[in-house]
Chains A and B, each alone.
Chain A
Amino acid sequence: MESTVAIDVSNVSKIFARGTAQEVKALDDVSVAIFQNEFFTLLGPSGCGKTTLLRLIAGFEHATSGSIQLDGAEISSLAPYDRPVNTVFQNYALFPHMTVAENIGFGLEMQGRSKTEVEATVSEMLGLVRMEALRDRHIDQISGGQQQRVALARALAPRPKVLLLDEPLSALDLKLRKEMQVELKRLQHETGITFVFVTHDQEEALTMSDRVAVMNAGKILQVDHPHEIYNRPNDRFVADFIGDTNFIRARIIDKDSSHMKLDIGGAKPVQLPTPSDLAIDGEITLAIRPEQARICGAEDAPIFEGKLSETIYIGTDTHYQIDIGTDLPFVIRVQNTSGEAQQLTQGDRVAIAIDSAVIQILRD
């Protein structure tokens, strides 16, 4: 399915207030390729540069250096109104003096389409976002979720090559947000338009995207499919930002081609298979997802042991915090399938088993 590149961002940097005391490097030599007909997400904390990258693609900002291509043609010097790219803004930016239908038809009208064509497309778009009944309402007469749909329809109506979405769901309440996530996925499938979605919500990114780019401090750290991002983070920031992770600093004591012995600060050294591509020595960081470790008996080849310091019950899961001699307790998440809590009390010694395949070894 991944075939042609829709947007090719190469070596783009953006420096705000250049040459002044307030100089900010919002994007630092960023390169990424976004494929056609893909739901692509830029994920990162606020201030990581994700919105800046989106605004560069939309044409509201101009890159300090680097190039942005759309379908192979350079677009970085074009004005926003000359780019076949539309944006859904964070607070929708709907025109308050126009009706729902007028808002949706605005882009088409500006493109100089005929009146009948505008009418037809507006009706089609209203159907697509299921807003037919409200076509003549004013923007202040409809709810936030409905405004969201109008904003989507307005941006989709001119059939852009790429739709940019700048945290469009952040103003909605949780239930509506879930609904709109499904809705967005559906719209992307039905229209076949490339979506570039910006969010700081990792769950949103994982559930909706075909591919995710994790950003921090003006750089793209990892671009991959959601399950790869979650299961194979290549960077400590990525592992930390997405989901919960246990980090264990470890020192390689002994290493051969098959196994390595690690000192994790606990009582006993830990033995792990040596990964084939690991060329580092000395200090490393291990990342283990809480649900991928389990409490086991001594016969089940435990990797290390610890003392149970806290049990937190949260309905679907129970979190066990286990003191293994490191600074932070090691957390294990166990799904409560049987309805009965496991019979463990604070202070119990427990053994921890982890399938060595799920242990991530991170560069720092």
Chain B
Amino acid sequence: MSKTLAQQEGLEAQAQRKEVKRNLLLSTPALIVLICAASGPLLIMVVFSFLTSGDYGGVKWEWSTKAWFQVAFYRDIFDDTVSIADAHLSILWRSVRLSFLTTLTAFVLGFPTAYFIATRPPETRNIWLFLVTIPFWTNLLIRTFAILEIIRNQGVVNTFLLMIGAIDQPLDMLYTDIAILLGMTYVYIPLMILPIYASMERFDFKLVEAAYDLYASRWKVMKRVILPLVKPGVVAGSILVFIPSLGAYVTPRVLGGGKNLMLGNLIELQFGQGRNWPLGAALSLTLLAIVMIALIVYVRSAQKQGAIHDS
């Protein structure tokens, strides 16, 4: 009896090994893409961040931790004193702040939009979704310049406000953080709307009726029934907006006018004019670390909230 059992276990293990082998074979293409496109470049970045910068860009193959030091500290070339790299920190702070505000704005505008679309009759929903995705058809740069055209001093908004006499001087909107926020919200809002819509489409609106029936006001229905149930969509949308915002390059470049840098611009600077590739690599990895930490904290807290309900 025990022998046959052992035999059977052996057979099962064999079958399992076979299964693993086959799965490995099937996942090879995905693994190759993952190694070449993600792990490879990442490894190069890690290596570069520990090398010395070349005189005309590029790297010299000499071990150095200078780049990592430069991420947060600044050494004066004349008196050799060390101070905190204020410029980097303020850029980092601006990036995090603007990305957070972009995510928040996109949620505040995107959630009602998604709700609106999800509550239309099924036949018309696709039209609304189609309208949401239309901006994707145009190049990001062109869309950003369109925003610039609207908010610049002689732009549409200022011309209109001057014409109706609401202001005597054009409002300085261009090249401010507000301009960057506006541009990024415009660019990334579909990434907020679509996942929220996807969860809302599966949401059973009978539950809203049930909540109304049980004396819940509109606000309570939203807070106690709709939001908890579409939370996966809100989490996904927030991640999809926050991460690209943090690394945004084109929008702050065009609408920030080169004086309001974000992390993406700072990194680009190191690989271009700055001729400091190791610092660029180190800054990129710093950005990656911030994103990872933000993600882990966010997902953990979302899970924890879910767990309270599950327990």
Interface, chain A (partner B; CB < 8 A): 58-60, 79-81, 85-87, 89, 91, 93-99, 106-107, 110-111, 138, 154-155, 158
Distance, CA A80 to CA B212, complexed state (A): 6
Q: Are B204 and A93 in contact (CB under 8 A)?
A: yes
Q: A80-B209, A138-B310 are in contact. List 10 more A-B contacts (CB 8 A).
A: A59-B213, A60-B213, A81-B214, A81-B215, A87-B209, A89-B210, A97-B228, A106-B216, A111-B215, A158-B214
**Does B259 belong to the interface (CB within 8 Å)?**
no
**Does B59 belong to the interface (CB within 8 Å)?**
no
Known: A93-B204, A110-B215, A110-B220. A87 touches B229 (CB 8 A): no
Give every chain B residue within 8 A of A111 (Cβ-Cβ). 215
Known: A93-B204, A96-B229. A86 touches B214 (CB 8 A): yes
Distance, CA A158 to CA B211, complexed state (A): 13
Q: Are B217 and A95 in contact (CB under 8 A)?
A: no
Q: Are B225 and A95 in contact (CB under 8 A)?
A: yes
Give every chain A residue within 8 A of B224 (Cβ-Cβ). 106
Q: Are B209 and A91 in contact (CB under 8 A)?
A: no
11 contacts between A and B (CB under 8 A): A58-B213, A79-B212, A80-B212, A87-B210, A93-B204, A93-B210, A95-B210, A95-B211, A97-B309, A110-B211, A110-B214
Query: How many whole Å from A240's CB to the nearest CB in chain B?
Result: 33
From B206, B213, B220, B310, A80 is in contact (CB under 8 Å) with B213
Q: Are B214 and A107 in contact (CB under 8 A)?
A: yes
Distance, CA A82 to CA B216, complexed state (A): 9
Distance, CA A239 to CA B204, complexed state (A): 38
Give every chain A residue within 8 A of B310 (Cβ-Cβ). 138
Interface, chain B (partner A; CB < 8 A): 204, 206-207, 209-217, 220, 224-225, 228-229, 309-310
Query: How many whole Å from B308's CB to the nearest CB in chain A?
Result: 10
Q: Which residue of A60, A98, A106, A138 has the most chain B CB atoms within 10 A of its CB atom?
A: A106
Give every chain A residue within 8 A of B215 (Cβ-Cβ). 81, 107, 110-111, 158
Give every chain B residue within 8 A of A96 (Cβ-Cβ). 229
Top 3 A-B pairs ranked by shortest CB distance? A107-B214, A93-B210, A110-B215
Q: Are B212 and A91 in contact (CB under 8 A)?
A: no
Give every chain B residue within 8 A of A95 (Cβ-Cβ). 207, 210-211, 225
Query: How many whole Å from B309's CB to the nearest CB in chain A?
Result: 5
Give every chain A residue within 8 A of B228 (Cβ-Cβ). 97
Query: How many whole Å from B303's CB to the nearest CB in chain A?
Result: 14
Q: Are A87 and B213 in contact (CB under 8 A)?
A: yes
Query: How many whole Å from A361's CB to the nearest CB in chain B?
Result: 44
Q: Are B309 and A98 in contact (CB under 8 A)?
A: yes
Distance, CA A85 to CA B211, complexed state (A): 12
From B207, B209, B217, B220, A60 is in contact (CB under 8 Å) with B209
Distance, CA A98 to CA B225, complexed state (A): 9
Distance, CA A155 to CA B229, complexed state (A): 21
Distance, CA A107 to CA B220, complexed state (A): 11
Query: How many whole Å from A162's CB to the nearest CB in chain B?
Result: 12
Distance, CA A93 to CA B206, complexed state (A): 6
Distance, CA A111 to CA B214, complexed state (A): 8
Q: Are A86 and B213 in contact (CB under 8 A)?
A: yes
Distance, CA A81 to CA B224, complexed state (A): 15
From B206, B207, B209, B216, A110 is in contact (CB under 8 Å) with B216
Q: Are A106 and B211 in contact (CB under 8 A)?
A: yes
**Smallest CB gap from A154: residue in B:** B214
Give every chain B residue within 8 A of A85 (Cβ-Cβ). 213
Query: How many whole Å from A149's CB to the nearest CB in chain B?
Result: 16
Give every chain A residue within 8 A of B207 (Cβ-Cβ). 93, 95
**Smallest CB gap from B206: residue in A:** A93
Give every chain A residue within 8 A of B225 (Cβ-Cβ). 95
Give every chain A residue within 8 A of B206 (Cβ-Cβ). 89, 91, 93
Distance, CA A97 to CA B199, complexed state (A): 14
Give every chain B residue within 8 A of A138 (Cβ-Cβ). 309-310
Give every chain B residue within 8 A of A59 (Cβ-Cβ). 212-213
Distance, CA A58 to CA B309, complexed state (A): 29
**Smallest CB gap from B205: residue in A:** A93
**Smallest CB gap from A105: residue in B:** B214
Give every chain B residue within 8 A of A98 (Cβ-Cβ). 309
**Smallest CB gap from A90: residue in B:** B206
Q: Which residue of B206, B210, B224, B310 has the most chain A CB atoms within 10 A of its CB atom?
A: B210
Query: How many whole Å from A193's CB to the nearest CB in chain B?
Result: 15
